[in-house]
């Protein structure tokens, strides 16, 4: 049995992970090449609504994935059990799948040996955070909202994760990390405000002062008025910018979509696609982010310039797309089966020199957007996205916020939004998208002629 | 498994739980994708774990683990109780559940052909044959076919004496083709987008589709869309095919009918609901033609089961009757607030997740007639088919949808194909403009395999039964126009 003592609440250590992976690889000896990937995650989340804690959970999850190659055939199987019998079963199943699969002419050769420089992403305080500490952190937020006659809902979560990978060729990489998130919506009868923060060390979440921001926004946006749909100058807070920029990852910054001609970048590398003030890179080493040092093929992640001063420069690769393009992998392979190919997971948008206050102060008439919600692709090739404003939409008149607005629907071309930006924030904030696991580090920005097409009744 | 469940329940009670339940769940899944002459994915996964939910000090606690043995069951129970006690000082009132009597039961999805017993070679051959046909269309740059199969074996046991075993099987498959020109890219899917059509069924579902037989038309439509005229911007009568009506129901009725949303439990993430409790029995949600039920007993739906994850039996309840809002999706904790018992909609994505209120099968009851008869009775409008884009605000009022393909309807006849179709509206206004729903021959129970909700985020498979329907005075073309 390789299962660790059940009273331990941390993810697997490097030695424990290596032991499991070595055993899994040994059981895959019938394959010509094999890779074993282990992800172990301890997650806890305290959730509140209506100024009381209503859900509070903890889980320990783990997944071992075995990928084997026989000739030009590949098979992948995974399991949540780490005992010897389960490792034998998952290895046998991967081998069986490989034997059943047709030959893959483009199957990349085994990954060469590579040194992976570690990235410090683990905060012991986050791993040790207790349910009592989580409750004590969110309690003052609920009390402050209640004292103001408002209603708070939100969540404080912590995660300790290990990702480990080993190959038949002797490569072993191990990466421990932590993640902490606080988010809160404060509502009145006719308004709402919101705050959101992602950090590695949960003590930096500062729930109480952050919650005060949500309370202030809820109070400031009371009695919202409807504004006619149309083109407006908008000041987008970092969370709103993150929602838009994150779409670019899916719409064409990965090499597979570019090679298939589906990407907005297909045929446009080297061309101007955004304003000169826009530089977008993928950088797992950015200290503000949550990047990992290697990808799911064990390749070290490289910093990739995607857009440089508005000019399209490149896309991210895994081993398959790199072989097609005659380049080296940039270390952006996704977890098997990776049907979308390689993707950028650590987007960083270059900062400018303005503060949000300065952007508002120099706007004669415009709209301040706290966040966008339920954003979806209308047209992938044209990077048109629709969505709604939420939890704090304000009218700017004469350089100051004058009142709250009812929420608005937008339909916009993300690249055009970046091209029309005339002010960029000097501070960038990380946002982690939990459904995809990717991080976007972006500043606020102001852009002209942002197209709102509808208004909600609230 | 029973001994592990017993150990968890005993440990929870010894640790002070006034109520506890445990779910021990083993899930296996299989995913195949063939794309552009290659098996691009062939993956099997198994997960096994347990989750213990307790009430202690009047508050909830939940702990789950991928290690399934008696020691870990005890540890999870103790941890869940500790979590509950940490929450208790921050409760305004203790949680109260509607009562349930002891019961032992079993349920199994009826399947004709176990999908995990069908040889992989047969599945790959079928997908390869269909995608090869699609690649015969010169403008197709991506030809993709996929299959998904899931099996959940679940044991639920509670301190109230409920012990329920279930085996749930879901299957699905579909095709999609992307055609490209110098300045455009268009997708067409069969039988639906989101990877195809899904049901609580076995491999007989995949055999029913005739993927290979529909591949050529799928690719040809994708190519034809490249040169089709743009959907106009303006106000129009709109006919939606059943699959698009299904997603319209999902977003604009299913979610806002979730009582946890209505009560504010999801306010920070998924959002709240315009269908407030004061509106129940009063709100004219739709026209008198609109009858919506939540039916977890309906055959073949992804929301079909024997019991929910609180051990409550599957039920069929009215949400909207004659256009009027009359009910919600409820749980044992939320239903008593309406003076009711749970109608059994609590489901968890896995053993690692807390059960929350989820859509079962949210079905629009069929009207009469066929789609062709509906088109024949329409003077001027647009037929929109197969979802491509979907967005709705956090109270479920303002929505915008796009479809893969549309057709003009002129003088009762289907006219030119249209591309980039979008329409938008406000939920109760839109459903009150429903003036026709097609009949049982056009009705299908459409699966939605990726419904997101909850913190931590959970993905659930739900279904919506629907037939094509017609709506008048709808704003169209807004995604691209002014």
In tens, the pLDDT along A283-334 reads: 999 999 999 999 999 999 999 999 999 999 999 999 999 999 999 999 999 9
B406 in the same domain as B364? yes
Helical H segments across B336-470, by residue range: 371-376, 427-431
Cβ contacts of B267 on chain A, cutoff 8 Å = 49, 151, 153, 185, 187
pLDDT: which is higher, B341 or A12:
B341
Band of pLDDT at residue B188, cut at 50, 70 and 90: very high
**Which residue, among B80, B267, B399, would best test binding to A if mutated, counting the most A CBs under 10 Å from its CB?**
B267
Which of B225, B244, B279 is at the close of a domain? B225
What is the per-residue pLDDT for A3?
A: 44
B262 in the same domain as B186? no
pLDDT at A359 over 50: yes
d(CA B212, CA A3): 46
What is the per-residue pLDDT for B239?
A: 98
- Fill in the DSSP letter of residue B312: P
pLDDT at B133 over 80: yes
B177 in the same domain as B306? no
Instruction: Assess if residue B154 is contained within a domain.
Output: yes
Instruction: Give the tokens for residue A307.
Output: 């857009």
Nearest to B92 among A52, A101, A407 (CB): A52
- pLDDT, tens digit, for every residue of B203-240? 999 999 999 999 999 999 999 999 999 999 999 999 99
What integer is the mean pLDDT of B187-210? 97
What is the per-residue pLDDT for A112?
A: 80
Query: Radius of gyration of chain B from Cα atoms?
Result: 23
Judge contact between A415 and A264, C-beta under 8 A: yes
Assess A455–B contact: CB distance below 8 Å, yes or no.
Answer: yes
What integer is the mean pLDDT of A201-207? 98
What is the per-residue pLDDT for A111?
A: 82
Cβ contact, residue pair A79, B397, below 8 Å = no
Q: Which of B10, B29, B167, B87 is nearest to B354 (CA)?
A: B87
CA distances from B425 to A346, B332, B375, B430 (A): 36, 34, 22, 6
- Determine if the peptide bond prior to A183 is cis (ω within 30°): no
Q: Tokens 């899931």 identify what position?
A: B150
Band of pLDDT at residue B430, cut at 50, 70 and 90: very high
Residue-wise burial string across A111-128, b where 16 or more C-beta atoms lie within 10 A, e elsewhere: beeeebeebebbbeebbe
- Fill in the DSSP letter of residue A253: S
pLDDT at A6 over 50: no
d(CA A246, CA A250): 7
B267 in the same domain as B241? yes
What is the per-residue pLDDT for A11?
A: 81
d(CA A315, CA A282): 9
Instruction: Assess if residue B165 is contained within a domain.
Output: yes
Q: Are strands B140-158 and A400-404 parallel, antiparallel or unpaired?
A: unpaired
- Determine the 3-state secondary structure of B223 from DSSP: helix
B381 in the same domain as B275? yes
**Residue A408, min C-alpha distance to chain B (Å):** 9
B187 in the same domain as B66? yes
d(CA B181, CA B188): 15
CATH number at residue B166: 3.30.2290.10
Taking all residues of chain A, what is their mean pLDDT, rounded to a whole number? 95
Cβ contact, residue pair B267, A51, below 8 Å = no
**Residue B95, min C-alpha distance to chain A (Å):** 9
Considering only A427-441, B255-269, B431-445, which range has the smallest mean pLDDT? A427-441
What is the per-residue pLDDT for B439?
A: 98
Ranges of beta strands (E only) in A297-399 are 304-308, 311-312, 346-349, 365-379, 384-397
**Which residue, among A54, A296, A321, would best test binding to B if mutated, counting the most B CBs under 10 Å from its CB?**
A54
Q: Provide the chain B residues 42-61 that lie in CB contact (below 8 A) with chain A.
A: 42-49, 51, 59-61
What is the per-residue pLDDT for A2?
A: 40
Taking all residues of chain B, what is their mean pLDDT, rounded to a whole number? 97
- pLDDT, tens digit, for every residue of B106-129? 999 999 999 999 999 999 999 999
Cβ contact, residue pair B43, A336, below 8 Å = yes
Q: Provide the chain B residues 265-284 that lie in CB contact (below 8 A) with chain A.
A: 265-269, 271, 274
d(CA A311, CA A415): 11
Nearest to B60 among A55, A374, A375 (CB): A55
Cβ contacts of A80 on chain B, cutoff 8 Å = 46-49, 66
Which of B180, B207, B225 is at the close of a domain? B225
Assess A130–B contact: CB distance below 8 Å, yes or no.
Answer: yes
What is the per-residue pLDDT for A143?
A: 98
User: Could you give phi then psi for residue B77, rounded to 5 degrees?
Assistant: -60, -45
What integer is the mean pLDDT of B159-179? 98
B163 in the same domain as B40? yes
- pLDDT, tens digit, for every residue of B242-301? 999 999 999 999 999 999 999 999 999 999 999 999 999 999 999 999 999 999 999 999
- pLDDT, tens digit, for every residue of B28-70? 999 999 999 899 999 999 999 999 999 999 999 999 999 999 9
A246 alpha-carbon distance from chain centroid: 8
d(CA B435, CA A318): 52
Judge contact between A344 and A253, C-beta under 8 A: yes
Q: Are strands B59-65 and A52-70 parallel, antiparallel or unpaired?
A: parallel
What integer is the mean pLDDT of A129-156? 98
d(CA B482, CA A231): 10
Instruction: Assess if residue B482 is contained within a domain.
Output: no
d(CA B480, CA A326): 38
Instruction: Assess if residue B481 is contained within a domain.
Output: no
| Dihedral, CA of residue B15, residue B21, residue B24 and residue B27, to nearest 10 | -140
Instruction: Give the tokens for residue B243.
Output: 């699959």
Cβ contacts of B34 on chain A, cutoff 8 Å = none
Cβ contact, residue pair A54, B265, below 8 Å = yes
Name the residue in chain B with its Cα closest to that of A153: B268
B305 in the same domain as B412? yes
pLDDT at A7 over 60: no
Cβ contact, residue pair B90, A130, below 8 Å = no
What is the per-residue pLDDT for A9?
A: 61
B258 in the same domain as B171? no
Instruction: Give the tokens for residue A1.
Output: 């049995």
What is the per-residue pLDDT for A1?
A: 36
**Which residue, among B26, B32, B42, would best test binding to A if mutated, counting the most A CBs under 10 Å from its CB?**
B42
B444 in the same domain as B350? yes
Cβ contact, residue pair B426, A457, below 8 Å = yes
**Residue B296, min C-alpha distance to chain A (Å):** 25
Domains of chain A listed by start with CATH number: 14-203 (3.30.2290.10), 224-458 (no CATH)
What domain range includes position B210?
Answer: 2-225
What is the per-residue pLDDT for A423?
A: 97
Which of B178, B196, B225 is at the close of a domain? B225
B61 in the same domain as B33? yes
B209 in the same domain as B241? no
| Residue % of chain B over a pLDDT of 70 | 100
Assess B66–A contact: CB distance below 8 Å, yes or no.
Answer: yes
Name the residue in chain B with its Cα closest to that of A262: B185
For residue A7, count other CB atoms closer than 10 A to its CB: 9
- Determine the 3-state secondary structure of A267 from DSSP: coil
Residue-wise burial string across B50-89, b where 16 or more C-beta atoms lie within 10 A, e elsewhere: bbbbbbbbbbbbbbbbbbbbeebbbbbbbbbbbbbbbbbe
Nearest to B456 among A3, A80, A157 (CB): A157
Predicted TM-score (pTM) of the model is 0.97
Nearest to A76 among B43, B269, B400 (CB): B43
- Total number of domains constituting chain B: 2
What is the per-residue pLDDT for A437?
A: 78
Considering only A102-116, A183-197, B152-166, B225-239, which range has the smallest mean pLDDT? A102-116
CA distances from A256 to A75, A341, A374, B383 (A): 21, 5, 26, 33
d(CA A325, CA A257): 13
């Amino acid at each position: 049995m390789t299962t660790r003592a059940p009273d331990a609440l941390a993810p697997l250590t490097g030695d424990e992970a290596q032991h499991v992976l070595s055993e899994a690889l040994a059981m895959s000896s019938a394959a010509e090449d094999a890779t074993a990937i282990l992800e172990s995650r301890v997650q806890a989340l305290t959730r509140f609504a209506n100024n009381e804690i209503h859900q509070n959970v903890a889980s320990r999850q783990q997944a071992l994935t075995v990928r084997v190659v026989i000739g030009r055939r590949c098979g992948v199987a995974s399991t949540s059990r780490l005992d010897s019998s389960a490792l034998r079963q998952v290895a046998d199943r991967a081998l069986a799948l490989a034997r059943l699969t047709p030959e893959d002419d483009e199957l990349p050769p085994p990954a060469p040996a590579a040194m992976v420089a570690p990235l410090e992403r683990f905060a012991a305080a986050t791993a040790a955070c207790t349910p009592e500490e989580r409750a004590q952190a969110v309690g003052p937020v609920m009390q402050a909202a209640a004292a103001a006659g408002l209603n708070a809902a939100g969540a404080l979560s912590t995660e300790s994760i290990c990702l480990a990978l080993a190959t038949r060729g002797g490569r072993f990489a191990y990466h421990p990390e932590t993640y902490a998130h606080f988010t809160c919506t404060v509502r009145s009868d006719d308004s709402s405000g919101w705050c959101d923060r992602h950090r590695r060390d949960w003590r930096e979440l500062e729930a109480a002062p952050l919650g005060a921001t949500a309370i202030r926004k809820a109070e400031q946006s009371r009695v919202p008025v409807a504004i006619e749909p149309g083109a407006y100058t908008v000041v987008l807070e970092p969370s709103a910018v993150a929602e838009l920029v994150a779409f670019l990852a899916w719409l064409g910054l990965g090499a597979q979509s570019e090679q298939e001609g589906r990407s907005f970048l297909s045929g446009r590398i080297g061309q101007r696609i955004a304003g000169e003030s826009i530089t977008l890179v993928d950088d797992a080493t950015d200290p503000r982010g949550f990047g990992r040092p290697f990808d799911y093929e064990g390749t070290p992640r490289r910093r990739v310039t995607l857009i440089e001063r508005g000019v399209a420069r490149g896309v991210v690769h895994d081993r398959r797309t790199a072989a097609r393009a005659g380049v080296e992998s940039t270390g952006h392979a996704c977890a098997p089966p990776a049907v979308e190919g390689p993707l950028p997971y650590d987007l960083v948008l270059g900062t400018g020199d303005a503060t949000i206050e300065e952007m508002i102060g120099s706007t004669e008439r415009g709209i301040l957007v706290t966040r966008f919600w339920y954003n979806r692709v209308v047209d992938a090739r044209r990077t048109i996205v629709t969505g709604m404003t939420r939890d704090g939409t304000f009218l700017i008149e004469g350089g100051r916020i004058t009142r709250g607005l009812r929420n608005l629907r937008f339909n916009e071309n993300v690249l055009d939004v970046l091209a029309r930006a005339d002010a960029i924030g000097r501070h960038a904030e990380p946002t982690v998208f939990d459904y995809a696991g990717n991080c976007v580090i972006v500043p606020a920005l102001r852009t002209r002629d942002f197209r709102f097409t509808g208004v909600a009744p609230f | 498994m029973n001994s592990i469940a017993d150990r968890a329940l005993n440990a929870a009670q010894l640790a002070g739980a006034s109520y506890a339940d445990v779910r021990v769940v083993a899930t296996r899944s299989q995913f195949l994708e063939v794309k552009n002459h290659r098996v691009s994915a062939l993956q099997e996964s198994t997960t096994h774990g347990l989750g213990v939910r307790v009430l202690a000090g009047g508050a909830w606690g939940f702990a789950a683990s991928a290690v399934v043995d008696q020691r870990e069951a005890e540890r999870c129970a103790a941890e869940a109780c500790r979590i509950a006690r940490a929450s208790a000082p921050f409760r305004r009132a203790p949680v109260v559940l509607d009562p349930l009597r002891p019961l032992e039961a079993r349920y199994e999805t009826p399947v004709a052909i176990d999908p995990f017993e069908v040889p992989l070679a047969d599945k790959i051959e079928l997908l390869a044959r269909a995608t090869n046909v699609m690649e015969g269309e010169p403008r197709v740059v991506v030809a993709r076919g996929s299959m998904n199969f899931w099996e959940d074996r679940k044991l639920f046991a509670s301190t109230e004496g409920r012990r329920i075993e279930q085996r749930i099987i879901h299957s699905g498959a579909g095709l999609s083709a992307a055609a490209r020109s110098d300045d455009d890219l268009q997708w067409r899917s069969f039988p639906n987008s989101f990877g195809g059509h899904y049901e609580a069924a076995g491999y007989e579902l995949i055999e029913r589709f005739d993927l290979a037989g529909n591949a050529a038309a799928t690719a040809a439509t994708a190519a034809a869309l490249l040169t089709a005229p743009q959907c106009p911007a303006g106000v129009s009568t709109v006919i939606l095919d059943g699959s698009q009506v299904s997603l319209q129901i999902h977003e604009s009725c299913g979610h806002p009918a979730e009582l946890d949303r209505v009560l504010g439990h999801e306010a920070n993430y998924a959002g709240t609901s315009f269908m407030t409790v004061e509106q129940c029995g009063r709100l004219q949600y739709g026209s008198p033609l609109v009858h919506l039920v939540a039916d977890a007993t309906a055959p073949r739906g992804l929301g079909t089961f024997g019991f929910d994850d609180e051990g409550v039996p599957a039920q069929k309840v009215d949400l909207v009757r004659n256009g009027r809002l009359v009910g919600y999706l409820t749980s044992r904790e939320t239903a008593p607030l309406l003076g009711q018992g749970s109608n059994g909609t609590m489901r968890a994505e896995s053993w690692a997740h807390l059960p929350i209120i989820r859509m079962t099968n949210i079905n629009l009851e069929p009207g009469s007639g066929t789609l062709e008869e509906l088109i024949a009775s329409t003077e001027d409008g647009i037929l929109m088919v197969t979802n491509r884009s979907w967005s709705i605000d956090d109270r479920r009022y303002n929505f915008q949808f796009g479809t893969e393909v549309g057709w003009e309807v002129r003088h009762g006849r289907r006219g030119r194909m249209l591309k980039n179709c979008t329409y938008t509206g406000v939920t109760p206004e839109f459903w009150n403009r429903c003036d026709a729903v097609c009949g049982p021959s056009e009705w299908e129970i459409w699966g939605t395999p990726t419904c997101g909700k909850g913190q931590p985020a959970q993905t659930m498979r739900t279904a919506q039964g629907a037939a094509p329907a017609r709506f008048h005075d709808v704003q169209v073309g807004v995604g691209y126009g002014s």
